[in-house]
Amino acid sequence: MSSSSNSFVSGTSSSKLRKTASKEEEIDVITRTPGAQKLNAKCGNMSCAARRGDIPLKHCARCKTIMYCSRECQVAHWKDHKTWCNNNVDHLAELEAADRDGLNVGLPDGMSLVELDQRLEKWVKYHNSLLMAATIHALELPRDLKRSHQYLLRVRVSYRTDNEGVPGKLFRVDKAFLVDIQSSRSKGPVWVQSIDEIERLRTESEEKRLGTVAAIALECSPLAMQIVPFGSLRDLSPLRIQKEWKEILIRNVENGKRFTRFE
């Protein structure tokens, strides 16, 4: 990577797709079915039903963003996972190069870009259920699941120096709004690449009748935009759409507490 900051500050680096839990894995959080229990993480191979509570799952050694129950499942899923995996590996390499070039000047607490990205990933995992719920309500998916084909939830966050060491308080939401997917292609190569990948994931999921895929376009300067996808979204019509989804999202993130109910 050259000494220019363009490859990550202006958003021309490889986007990073964050693997998150599916709707099936968080059904108690979204619908609050009485007595429902949160299901454990599932094997990354869509054709396998194995879950962490039934069998040990191991992370992909390269990108560490997806888990499998066996070598056989990992090999079977490699064709689908390859682009995702390479994006994550390339993303880390570019951040490391930018840090070596001294492009992390001005970051709070003397952080490196790699550390900022790692803290963002920790924050996303902590607030995964909240982010998925906000996406469902912002896109009004209970009204029409196909709105996931048309819109992304664009979320801009900033690092909090008053985080008190709490993962849920590492960042605050500054802005959250809907953007049209096709119009967003004009925003640059990262957006085009990310949209192509999320559409591939959605097509694959729907063809296998596993539900649709919705996503957040997450921005945290000076990192490039990163996509957070939510899969296996099926009939959500029983849910009452929360019109105040933005206020609920911002308030819960600011409090930094584990999300249990979207209200």
Radius of gyration for the chain, computed over Cα atoms and rounded to the nearest angstrom = 18
- Answer for the pair 170, 159: CB distance below 8 angstroms, yes or no: yes
pLDDT of 263 reads 79
Return the closest-CA partner of residue 230 out of 16, 14, 19. 19
pLDDT of 40 reads 46
Is residue 76 classed exposed, middle or buried when 0-12, 13-18 and 19+ CB atoms within 10 A define those classes?
middle
DSSP count for the chain of H helices, then E strands? 7, 6
pLDDT in tens, 2-51: 222 222 332 333 445 554 444 333 332 322 222 223 334 788 887 888 88
pLDDT of 212 reads 94
Q: How is residue 183 annotated by DSSP?
A: G
- Answer for the pair 26, 11: CB distance below 8 angstroms, yes or no: no
Which two tokens mark 200? 């591939």
Return the closest-CA partner of residue 218 out of 201, 199, 198, 242. 198
Q: How far apart are CA 14 and CA 94, in angstroms?
A: 8
Show the low-confidence residues of the chain (pLDDT under 50): 1-15, 19-40
Q: How far apart are CA 163 and CA 97, in angstroms?
A: 27
Which two tokens mark 105? 């000047």
pLDDT of 122 reads 93
Which two tokens mark 183? 């119009």
Which two tokens mark 207? 């063809």
pLDDT of 130 reads 95
Q: How far apart are CA 121 and CA 102, in angstroms?
A: 22
- Answer for the pair 215, 18: CB distance below 8 angstroms, yes or no: no
pLDDT of 183 reads 96
The chain-wide mean pLDDT, for the chain, equals 82
Strand-by-strand arrangement of the 171-180 sheet: 171-180, 151-159, 212-219, 226-233
Q: How far apart are CA 20 and CA 216, in angstroms?
A: 11
User: Is this model's pTM higher than 0.85 or not?
Assistant: no
Phi, psi of 108 (to 5 degrees): -65, 155
Give buried/exposed letters for 231-259 (b at 16+ CB in 10 A, else e).
bbbeebeebeebeebbebbbebbeebeeb
pLDDT of 17 reads 52
pLDDT of 13 reads 35
pLDDT of 70 reads 93
Q: How many residues does the chain have?
A: 263
pLDDT of 18 reads 53
- Answer for the pair 68, 43: CB distance below 8 angstroms, yes or no: yes
